[in-house]
Structure 1
Amino acid sequence: MIRNALRMRWSLPLALALLVVASFTPMLIAAGSKASASTPVLSGAEADRAALPKLTSFNKVSLGDGTVETLYAADSAKRPVALAVRVDAAAMKTLPSTPTHDGQTCFDTGGDGIDLEADCASGHERTLWFPKLNGLPFQWLMFNWQKNGHGPTHVFDKPHFDLHFFIQDFSARNQIRTGSCNLVINCDDDATAKKPVPAPYAPVGWGLPGAAGRMGNHIIDPNAAPANGGAFTQAFAYGTWNGHISFWEPVVNRDWVVSEKPASACQPIPQTPQVELTGYYPETMCTRYGSGGEMTFTFEKFVKRTAPAGAKAPVWSSKSTAESAVRHQH
């Protein structure tokens, strides 16, 4: 019962969640978009051509009896070609299961001490870093292993990996407080996280499953799997904070990876009409199960996107990210 209650603190039942998406018009953007209604998985010859790029390891931390690491590929000008997250075979076999959460995102709701099952979220979390490649908007990774999944019910309530590719800088993210609202988030910060992203920087028609402490808000496409009732294999969400896209989040079903062992499951990433920061952004995401039992997730097919004239880089907190903005405008 405690576990189910925790899930419901973030999520609405699927029917209600979709009703919110359809009816809460102030939170949705109605202009044109490059985001598609669904994200078909590439197959056949297309998948065969999606070979794993040669990757260089950048940052590695422990997970279970193994490791999770970030990797990358770059061209001769240090522009991104691929950005990757790998969970090695030892970690895939020994993913933490007890307790459900490792205590990094918690709030003592009852005033009687932290209960790792009832007062926490984010599963088992790891922080990793990305290299400072030219024009790369992503600075760091918040990796979450969710043993029991989370809401919305019948959407993301299966064991899975949340891969938060953060554009928002690390110090500003650390100012997002935990609290008693939604998924263990401070109520004032919950409101800040849910400020709608204005056109043309938001994906059209995407809704608001909810905000989380130490993360921000999450928005998903209600017409794409698994929100539309389709199979949960790999999915995609955007994160928002104070009216800006703050992270890109692939969500990968562990059971699908282990049972289907995809050699190269790739799909297009829904794009926003415009970006606030000029830089190189991926158009494709892929999940691969290696012959040794490891899982490798990649962002690939990076293309340069130019912010429209007059666009201002996000200021994430009182500590301005001007230095980061200058780096991304190269």
Structure 2
Amino acid sequence: MKIGVNWKSLLGILVFVASHHAVADRKVVTDRKPLGKHGWVYSWNIYSDAGVPKAIGISVNGAAFKELPEDDMETIVLQPKAQYAIAPYKHFTLDWNPHGHEPDGIYTKPHFDYHFFFITSAEREAITCQDADALICTKAVPSSYIPADYAPTPAGVPKMGWHFVDLKAPEFNGQPFSATFIYGFYNGVTNFLEPMITLEYLKTKPHAEYPVRLSQNISHSGFYPQKYMVIYNHVEDTYSVVLADLLNRTSSL
């Protein structure tokens, strides 16, 4: 049986639904900091019309990319306003690594580290991962709290914690590093989530999403991303890294 379709009307309906869905979602800027003379970085949340968190993002404007220093810059700390804090996240940081970092030949490209911390800024500052704190930093993590195919790095990093990398990521399978997702631990529990994105990749003005593997159990109740996104917005001239498709989970501890 042949069914006649009024494509113009159908397109109108789709546009109507899409626009109303977009209006229903609410974006809230939670903090903003300067980056260079004309650049800036800001954090934001997206909520459904019912007030349920849907995404958390960090955006950098195009002007900032033109003023990036040739050497490491001071960590930018973003502190969401209390009324917009989404568990388990307590603050965010952005680090610019113009020469990359270890391991050599893998993460030695210029890139940004986007840390979404589960601890306060003061607690993060107290992490040294040295001397007595080295044992706390690299305290054994129960396997059910580690996503499949993630492995620890040799040691912890001051003011961050112990990084676990994705062994299935392209950079560990003969391909160049462009975007990757890292889990961080301290004292045996998760203390941050970290997308790392190269400047080279951001300059391609991507609109991409990647699945995030979750652990069987979690140490902090709250909203966890089932994917992360790297998005260029040509209207705002912003480059965003987003924790998306948030799943509300309950701690096993």
Q: Which residue matches 2:221?
A: 278
Q: Which residue matches 1:206?
A: 150
Find out whether 1:241 has 2:192 as its counterpart. Answer: no
Matched-pair identity in %? 27
Find out whether 1:70 has 2:43 as its counterpart. Answer: yes
Q: Which residue matches 2:76?
A: 126
* Displacement after TM superposition at 1:186 (Å): 2.1
Find out whether 1:232 has 2:177 as its counterpart. Answer: yes
How high is the TM-score relative to the length of structure 1?
0.64
* Displacement after TM superposition at 1:273 (Å): 1.0
- Please list, as runs of the form range in 1=range in 2, the aligned pairs for 1:155-174 lying within 5 A after superposition: 155-174=106-125
* Higher normalized contact order (CA 8 Å, seq sep 6+, divided by chain length): 1
Partner AA of 1:57 in structure 2: V
Equivalent residue of 2:162, what SS? strand
* Mapped contact 1:136–1:281 kept (Cα < 8 A): no
Find out whether 1:191 has 2:135 as its counterpart. Answer: yes
- Please list, as runs of the form range in 1=range in 2, the aligned pairs for 1:309-320 lying within 5 A after superposition: 311=253
Partner AA of 1:211 in structure 2: G
* Displacement after TM superposition at 1:57 (Å): 1.6
Instruction: Pick one of 54, 59, 64 that aligns with 1:91.
Output: 64
* Displacement after TM superposition at 1:255 (Å): 0.8
What are the Cα deviations for residues 54-108 of structure 1, in whole angstroms up to 9, with x where unaligned?
63222111112310110111134533111110101111211122xx234xxxxxx
* Mapped contact 2:87–2:221 kept (Cα < 8 A): no
Give the Cα–Cα distance (whole angstroms) in 1 for the partners of residues 96 and 209 of structure 2: 21
* Mapped contact 1:55–1:73 kept (Cα < 8 A): yes
Give the Cα–Cα distance (whole angstroms) in 1 for the partners of residues 149 and 238 of structure 2: 35
Which structure features the higher share of strand residues? 2
Equivalent residue of 2:172, what SS? coil
Equivalent residue of 1:273, what SS? coil
Q: 1:244 to 1:146 in 2, by over 3 A?
A: same
Instruction: Pick one of 83, 86, 89 that aligns with 1:138.
Output: 89
Structure 1: state its 5+ residue gaps.
1-48, 103-123, 178-184, 312-330
Equivalent residue of 2:209, what SS? strand
How high is the TM-score relative to the length of structure 2?
0.82
Q: 1:77 to 1:190 in 2, by over 3 A?
A: farther
* Displacement after TM superposition at 1:205 (Å): 3.8
Q: 1:261 to 1:135 in 2, by over 3 A?
A: closer
- The higher radius of gyration belongs to 2
Equivalent residue of 2:107, what SS? coil
What are the Cα deviations for residues 139-186 of structure 1, in whole angstroms up to 9, with x where unaligned?
110110111111111221101110110012222212113xxxxxxx52
